[in-house]
């Protein structure tokens, strides 16, 4: 005879309740971890080149011996942009940056 999960009163037995609680907890924890990795951080991928024509493409991809790419605080890169380019923003001029999300892949952000 097969054991029933639901009793005659309509309630789940204890093992079935615990399984539901554990599965729900795992789903909540995974969704929180995923959400935290998508949150913005205070760091950015900052690129400084000697000439604006060294940029290939639209954003941060670049070539040239006088270029420098670093992962720094966003305020530091904005300060460099202000000093070198007069603060023209993250997509123009010699200093460009892309905001990083929480996680290990900041070096690859904006390299297109």
Q: What are the residue ranges spanned by the domains of the chain?
A: 1-38, 40-108
The pLDDT profile of the chain, 112 residues, written as one tens digit per residue, is 556 666 666 676 777 788 888 999 998 888 777 766 667 788 899 999 988 888 887 778 888 788 888 889 999 999 999 999 888 888 889 999 988 887 667 777 777 6
Residue tagged 């530091």 (tokens): 76
The pLDDT, as a whole number, for residue 112 is: 61
Helix (H) or strand (E) holding 68: strand 68-73
The pLDDT, as a whole number, for residue 6 is: 61
* Cα–Cα distance for residue pair 86/95, rounded to 1 Å: 10
Query: What sign has the CA pseudo-torsion 102, 105, 106, 108?
Result: negative
Q: How far is CA 16 from CA 23, 59, 112, in A?
A: 11, 53, 50
The pLDDT, as a whole number, for residue 83 is: 93
The pLDDT, as a whole number, for residue 75 is: 94
Query: In the chain, count of helices (H) and strands (E)?
Result: 2, 3
């Amino acid at each position: 005879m097969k054991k029933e999960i639901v009793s005659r009163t309509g309630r789940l037995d204890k093992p079935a309740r615990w399984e539901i609680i554990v599965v729900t907890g795992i789903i909540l924890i995974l969704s929180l971890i995923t959400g935290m990795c998508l949150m913005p951080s205070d760091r950015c991928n900052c690129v400084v080149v000697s000439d604006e024509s060294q940029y290939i493409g639209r954003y941060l991809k670049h070539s040239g011996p006088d270029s420098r790419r670093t992962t720094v605080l966003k305020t530091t890169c904005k300060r460099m942009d202000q000093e070198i380019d007069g603060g023209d923003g993250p997509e123009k001029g010699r200093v460009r940056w892309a905001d990083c999300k929480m996680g290990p892949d900041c070096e690859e952000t904006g390299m297109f």
